[in-house]
């Protein structure tokens, strides 16, 4: 072999090795690129939808939040296949309400979730603010209302119906217990905090329902100041009971436990809100005016996963639509409330269900 041939072969080999290196590097580069894409989520997410459930508070003690997470998870499980995994991440926002907008902004900024689900009357305003900064982020919000924002769908419950049924049973049971010493019947309401849905819908409707039983009935309304302090709940309930209140509606999250304990110790009664609460303290809880938020969360998540959730729309559902109810079919209700009272409550529920009694909002 001539020296210049050897040189030529050598150059050829170097070029071959070089082009192989470029080729392999190219593949690796492409591979890294696609991994990056999936880390950001966009490539993978078209196939595998990701949902964040933001709990404005903590789940424990707040039935609406427990039902929210349950319904979303059920829908995700049902819509997941080997090819299309739907993931659900539940994030507890904690009790510091000043932090919620920052937490939701961070969720949107991560670009990790196709949908942020939450539940609370204060959420639509926060979502409106975050949606303006992140035009691709979409929200499914229950127990609140906002129409006309193309990134937000809301579903609110007819809480006038729910609170009216609670007031009606409270006054019936209080009437049977008697209100010796007081000039007129008084029923109690303990709330976690004051907010428009409480002051403008729930409290007035509770009073209205009680006044259908006794037009002179008044409401002793107390506020815990947070959604967790069971000691404060017990203190407020005990004070009410000393003042002659025999039945208390408790809407105070974790503080409900304190209200029930105080009522039990004093022989007073409690009406439960949002879920079936008879089992919390059988014999003390005499009514359960509920919202089927697990059903709503499940159905609306299914709608989203099918591409059919009407963003921009605000819907309102109640007894007639099957989302608000009063639980009668429970042995603890039947054991702790007399037959004549249950009959009167049954008639009221029937009137609301059939539309004979219309409680518009």
CB neighbours (10 Å) of residue 267? 11
Minimum CB separation from ligand RBF for residue 143, in Å?
5
Euclidean distance between CA atoms 186 and 74, whole angstroms: 42
Residues 225/204, Cβ–Cβ less than 8 Å: no
Residues 87/114, Cβ–Cβ less than 8 Å: no
Does residue 87 belong to the site contacting ligand RBF (CB under 6 A)? no
Strands 324-326 and 285-291: antiparallel
Does residue 64 belong to the site contacting ligand RBF (CB under 6 A)? yes
Record the tokens describing residue 246, joined without a space. 């025999």
Looking at 118, 120, 261, 288, which residue binds ligand RBF (CB under 6 A)?
120
Stretch that binds ligand RBF, among 5-13, 37-45, 55-63, 101-109 (CB under 6 A): 55-63
Does residue 273 belong to the site contacting ligand RBF (CB under 6 A)? yes
Name the one residue in this structure whose structure tokens are 């429970």: 330
Minimum CB separation from ligand RBF for residue 22, in Å?
59
Stretch that binds ligand RBF, among 10-18, 31-39, 115-123, 239-247 (CB under 6 A): 115-123
Q: Which of residues 244-263 bind ligand RBF (CB under 6 A)?
A: 251, 253
Does residue 325 belong to the site contacting ligand RBF (CB under 6 A)? no
Does residue 274 belong to the site contacting ligand RBF (CB under 6 A)? yes
Does residue 54 belong to the site contacting ligand RBF (CB under 6 A)? no
Q: What is the 3-state secondary structure (H, E, C) of 303-339?
A: HHHCCCCCCCCEEEECCCCCCEEECCCCHHHHHHCCH
Question: Which of these, 241, 219, 223, lies nearest to 232 by C-alpha position?
Answer: 223
Minimum CB separation from ligand RBF for residue 182, in Å?
27
Minimum CB separation from ligand RBF for residue 62, in Å?
3
Record the tokens describing residue 177, joined without a space. 């217990």
Does residue 62 belong to the site contacting ligand RBF (CB under 6 A)? yes
Number of residues engaging ligand RBF in binding (CB under 6 A): 17
Question: CB under 8 Å to 82, separation ≥6 — which residues?
Answer: none
Q: Which of residues 132-161 bind ligand RBF (CB under 6 A)?
A: 143
Q: Which of residues 193-232 bind ligand RBF (CB under 6 A)?
A: 195, 197, 227
Looking at 93, 188, 192, 318, which residue binds ligand RBF (CB under 6 A)?
192
Chain centre distance of CA 90: 12
Minimum CB separation from ligand RBF for residue 44, in Å?
34
Does residue 233 belong to the site contacting ligand RBF (CB under 6 A)? no
Q: What is the chain's Cα-based Rg?
A: 28
Minimum CB separation from ligand RBF for residue 139, in Å?
16
Minimum CB separation from ligand RBF for residue 183, in Å?
31
Record the tokens describing residue 69, joined without a space. 């997470």
Looking at 74, 80, 87, 97, which residue binds ligand RBF (CB under 6 A)?
97
Closer by beta carbon to ligand RBF, 86 or else 227? 227
Question: CB under 8 Å to 232, separation ≥6 — which residues?
Answer: 224, 225, 226, 255, 258
Residues 280/211, Cβ–Cβ less than 8 Å: no
Does residue 288 belong to the site contacting ligand RBF (CB under 6 A)? no
Stretch that binds ligand RBF, among 20-28, 29-37, 56-64, 308-316 (CB under 6 A): 56-64
Question: Which of these, 236, 216, 214, lies nearest to 225 by C-alpha position?
Answer: 236
Closer by beta carbon to ligand RBF, 129 or else 338? 129
On the 0-12 / 13-18 / 19+ scale of CB atoms within 10 A, 4 is: exposed
> Where does this chain bind ligand RBF (CB under 6 A)?
56-57, 62, 64, 97, 120-122, 143, 192, 195, 197, 227, 251, 253, 273-274
């Amino acid at each position: 072999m001539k020296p210049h041939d050897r040189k030529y072969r050598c150059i050829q080999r170097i070029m071959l090795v070089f082009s192989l290196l470029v080729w392999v590097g190219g593949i690796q580069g492409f591979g890294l690129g696609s991994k990056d894409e999936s880390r950001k989520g966009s490539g993978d997410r078209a196939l595998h939808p990701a949902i964040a459930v933001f709990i404005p508070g903590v789940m424990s003690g707040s039935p609406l939040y427990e039902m929210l997470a349950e319904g979303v998870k059920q829908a995700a499980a049902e819509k997941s296949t080997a090819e299309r995994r739907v993931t659900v991440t539940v994030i507890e926002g904690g009790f510091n309400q000043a932090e919620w907008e920052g937490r939701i902004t961070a969720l949107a900024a991560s670009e990790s979730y196709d949908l942020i689900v939450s539940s609370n009357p204060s959420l639509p305003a926060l979502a409106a603010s975050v949606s303006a900064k992140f035009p691709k982020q979409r929200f499914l919000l229950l127990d609140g209302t906002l129409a006309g924002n193309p990134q937000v769908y809301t579903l609110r419950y007819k809480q006038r119906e729910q609170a009216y049924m609670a007031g009606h049973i409270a006054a019936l049971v209080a009437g049977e217990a008697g209100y010796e010493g007081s000039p007129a019947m008084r029923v109690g309401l303990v709330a976690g905090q004051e907010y428009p849905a409480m002051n403008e819908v729930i409290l007035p409707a509770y009073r209205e329902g009680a006044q259908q039983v006794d037009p002179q009935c008044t409401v002793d309304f107390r506020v815990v100041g947070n959604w967790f302090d069971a000691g404060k709940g017990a203190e407020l309930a005990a004070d009410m009971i000393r003042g002659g209140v025999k039945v208390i509606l408790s809407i105070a999250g974790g503080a409900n436990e304190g209200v029930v304990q105080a009522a039990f110790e004093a022989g007073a009664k409690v009406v439960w809100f949002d879920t079936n609460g008879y089992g919390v303290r059988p014999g003390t809880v005499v009514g359960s005016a509920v919202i089927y938020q697990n059903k709503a969360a499940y159905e609306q998540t299914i709608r989203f996963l099918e591409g059919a959730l009407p963003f921009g729309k605000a819907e309102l559902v109640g007894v007639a639509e099957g989302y608000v109810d009063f639980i009668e079919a429970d042995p603890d209700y039947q054991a702790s409330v007399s037959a004549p009272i249950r009959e009167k409550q049954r008639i009221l529920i029937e009137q609301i269900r059939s539309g004979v009694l219309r409680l518009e909002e």
